[in-house]
Structure 1
Amino acid sequence: METLNILGTGCAMVTKCYNTCFTISDGHEHFLVDTGGGNTVLSNLEKLNIDINKIHHVFVSHRHNDHIMGVIWIIRAVAQQIINNKYEGSLIIYCHKDNIEAIKTIASLLLEKKFTKCFGERIIFNEIYDRCKTTILKWDIEFFDIRSTKQLQFGFTTMLANGKKITFLGDEPYREELFEYANNADYLLHEAFCLYSQKDIFKPYEKHHVTVKDACENATRLNAKTIIMYHTEDKNIENRKKLYTEEGMEFFEGNILVPDDLDIINL
Structure 2
Amino acid sequence: MELTILGCYAATPRTFTNPTSQVLEIKNRLFLIDCGEATQVQLRKNKIKFSKINHIFISHLHGDHVYGLIGLVSTFMLLNRTNDLHIYGPKGIKEMITLQLRLSNSWTSYGLYFHELESNESEIVFEDEKVIVKTIPLKHRIYTNGYLFREKIGEKKLNAEAMKHYQIQTCYFQNIKNGKDITLDDGTFIGNDKLTFEPIPPKSYAFCSDTVYNENMIDLIKDVDTLYHESTFLESEATLAGKTMHSTAKEAASIALKANVKQLILGHYSTRYENISLFKEEAETIFPNVLLADDGKTFEI
Task: Name the TM-score class by shorter chain.
Answer: 0.7 to 0.9
Q: Work out which of the residue numbers 53, 57, 66 in structure 1 matches 2:55.
A: 57
* Correspondent of 1:243 among 258, 274, 278: 278
Distance 1:99 1:204, change over 3 A: same
Equivalent residues of 1:31, 1:55 under 8 A apart: yes
Pick the aligned partner of 2:203 from 141, 160, 164. Answer: 164
Report the identity percentage.
26
Does structure 2 conserve the Cα–Cα contact (< 8 Å) formed by 1:57 and 1:136? no
Equivalent residue, structure 2, for 1:215: 252
The aligned length equals: 249
Deviations 1:214-262 (A, max 9, x none): 111221111121111111112334x31x222111111112x11111100
Check 1:100–1:247 CA distance in 2 against 1; reply closer, same or farther (3 A cut). same
1:116 to 73, 84, 107: 107
Bigger CA radius of gyration: 2
- Give 1:180 deviation, angstroms: 2.1
1:145 aligns with 2:137: yes
Task: Describe the shift of the 1:163–1:104 C-alpha distance in structure 2 as closer, same or farther (beyond 3 A).
Answer: same
Distance 1:153 1:62, change over 3 A: same
Tell me, yes or no, if structure 1 residue 98 matches structure 2 residue 92: yes
> TM-score by structure 2 length?
0.76
Instruction: Tell me by how many angstroms 1:69 deviates.
Output: 1.1
Deviates more, 1:216-225 or 1:154-163: 154-163
Correspondence for 2:267? 230
The alignment status of 1:183 with 2:200, answered yes or no, reads no
1:197 aligns with 2:196: no
Q: Counterpart of 1:266?
A: 300
Q: Mind listing any 5+ residue stretches in structure 1 that lack a counterpart?
A: none
1: CA distance, partners of 2:47 / 2:27: 12
Following TM superposition, by how much is the alpha carbon of 1:92 offset from its aligned partner in structure 2, in angstroms?
Answer: 0.9
* C-alpha distance in 1 between matches for 2:251 and 2:139: 17
Return the alpha-carbon distance in structure 1 between the equivalents of residues 244 and 139 of structure 2.
Answer: 15
Aligned partner of 1:145: which letter? P
Give the whole-Å Cα distance in 1 for the aligned partners of 2:21 and 2:117: 19
One-letter code of the match for 1:260?
A: D
Unaligned segments of structure 2, at least 5 residues? 153-200
Shift of 1:174: 3.9
CA RMSD between the two structures: 2.1
State the shift of 1:156 in Å: 1.5
SS state at 1:159 partner: strand
1:70 aligns with 2:68: yes
Match of 1:80 in 2: 78
Q: Distance in 1 between matches of 2:273 and 2:86?
A: 36
Distance in 2 between residues matched to 1:217 and 1:145, nearest whole Å = 18
Using the TM superposition, give the Cα deviation of residue 136 of structure 1 relative to its aligned residue in structure 2, in angstroms.
6.0
1:127 to 116, 119, 122: 116
TM-score (norm 1): 0.85
